[in-house]
């Protein structure tokens, strides 16, 4: 097939991108989006600061623009993110204890209810584990409400939207290390105790300091073996030319080799759309031209 989405669909997978609402008026951007992608993740518009800027007052206009565009063009939506230590509105940053816990549960419930039936998968909890060798939870105001905050968020999301897949999403968990071991243990525990979890997202932000791990496929596979889907949720890889292209192909091949790796999302369309202030980590250049990384990704999808 000749597009990322159609090529991924040959093996039953999706190929997605992060989308920013304020770029939906950019014809080049929308042209590539509609041609290439079958899944969309709002880059910022569903986060807590965007959807509940004042406690109890919900604003969905920007998120709705993305959801409506996706659905009108036959794309599905990954919701991102219901509970996260970052990008909280100021009022939530100033809460703690039971007040914060109640606010979090209400937020998860309200947003998941508002989008009930329209979201393929939710990143219910994002980035809850610490970097480094401890395997500990990340310290945050949410973590300080009690270690059960993650499972409470998953149960609230399930109750609000029983058909959405519920994911845990994180970075630096792409290979086997202390952080991914800790997430693995949590997922294993959730499955054993019946806490609703359907998928694990591997953000996969790669650069020279954090390259595509040698055991990427093995790590995806061990999570899949727990009985969850795995998804590559925020892929970008610093570099250029054939080296970058080879790395993208490696990521695609790893996913295709794991039957429960059901889709890949890149974190933006053109290099100029990337959250990385400088650099060229995506599949299209600033003018919207296909890069060698695009061709390598397409070819790898087609050989799957």
CB of 20 or CB of 256, closer to ligand G3I: 20
Q: Which two tokens stand for residue 34?
A: 């509609």
Residues that bind ligand G3I (CB under 6 A): 43-44, 86-87, 126, 171, 203, 234, 275
CB of 161 or CB of 234, closer to ligand G3I: 234
Q: How far is the CB of 224 from ligand G3I (least distance, A)?
A: 22
Q: How far is the CB of 205 from ligand G3I (least distance, A)?
A: 6
Calculate the alpha carbon distances from 31 to 37, 44, 143, 164, 168 in Å.
10, 21, 41, 28, 31
CB of 7 or CB of 51, closer to ligand G3I: 51
**Closest residue by Cα to residue 255 from 3, 32, 14:** 14
Q: How far apart are CA 48 and CA 271, in angstroms?
A: 26
Q: How far apart are CA 242 and CA 42, in angstroms?
A: 29
CB burial of residue 163 (10 Å; 0-12, 13-18, 19+): exposed
Q: How far is the CB of 301 from ligand G3I (least distance, A)?
A: 23
Q: How far is the CB of 170 from ligand G3I (least distance, A)?
A: 8
Q: How far apart are CA 196 and CA 123, in angstroms?
A: 13
CB of 91 or CB of 275, closer to ligand G3I: 275
The residue of the chain with the least Cβ separation from ligand G3I equals 275
Q: How far is the CB of 265 from ligand G3I (least distance, A)?
A: 11
In the residue annotation, 45 being an active-site residue is answered as: no
Q: How far apart are CA 195 and CA 233, in angstroms?
A: 22
CB of 137 closer than 8 Å to CB of 143: yes
Q: How far apart are CA 23 and CA 47, in angstroms?
A: 17
CB of 92 or CB of 256, closer to ligand G3I: 92
CB of 39 or CB of 301, closer to ligand G3I: 39
Q: What are phi and psi of 182, to 5 degrees?
A: -70, -40
Q: How far is the CB of 302 from ligand G3I (least distance, A)?
A: 28
**Closest residue by Cα to residue 11 from 290, 265, 282, 252:** 252
Q: How far apart are CA 250 and CA 234, in angstroms?
A: 15
Query: One of 43, 45, 151, 234 is an active-site residue; which one?
Result: 234
Q: Which two tokens stand for residue 210?
A: 């954090």
Residues with a known catalytic role:
234
């Amino acid at each position: 097939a000749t597009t990322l989405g159609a090529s991924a669909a040959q093996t039953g997978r999706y190929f997605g991108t992060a989308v920013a609402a304020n770029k939906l008026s950019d014809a080049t951007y929308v042209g590539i989006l509609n041609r290439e992608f079958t899944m969309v993740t709002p880059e910022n518009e569903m986060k807590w600061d965007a959807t509940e800027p004042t406690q109890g007052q919900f604003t969905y206009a920007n998120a709705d623009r993305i959801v409506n565009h996706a659905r009108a063009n036959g794309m599905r939506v990954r919701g991102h993110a219901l509970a996260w230590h970052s990008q909280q509105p100021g009022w939530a940053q100033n809460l703690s204890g039971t007040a914060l816990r109640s606010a979090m549960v209400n937020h998860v419930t309200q947003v998941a209810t508002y989008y009930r039936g329209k979201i393929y998968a939710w990143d219910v909890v994002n980035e809850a584990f610490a970097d480094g060798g401890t395997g500990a939870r990340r310290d945050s105001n949410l973590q300080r409400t009690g270690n059960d905050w993650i499972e409470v968020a998953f149960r609230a999301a399930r109750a609000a939207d029983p058909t959405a897949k519920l994911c845990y999403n994180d970075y630096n968990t792409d290979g086997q290390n202390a952080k991914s071991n800790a997430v693995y243990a949590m997922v294993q525990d959730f499955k054993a105790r019946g806490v609703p979890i359907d998928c694990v997202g591997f953000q996969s932000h790669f650069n020279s300091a954090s390259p595509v791990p040698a055991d990427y496929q093995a790590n995806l596979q061990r999570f899949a073996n727990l009985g969850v889907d795995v998804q590559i949720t925020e892929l970008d890889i610093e570099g250029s030319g054939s080296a970058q292209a080879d790395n993208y192909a490696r990521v695609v091949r790893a996913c295709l080799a794991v039957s429960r790796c059901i889709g890949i999302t890149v974190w933006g369309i053109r290099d100029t759309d990337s959250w990385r202030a400088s650099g060229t980590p995506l599949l299209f250049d600033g003018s919207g031209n296909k890069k060698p990384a695009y061709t390598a990704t397409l070819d790898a999808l087609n050989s799957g």
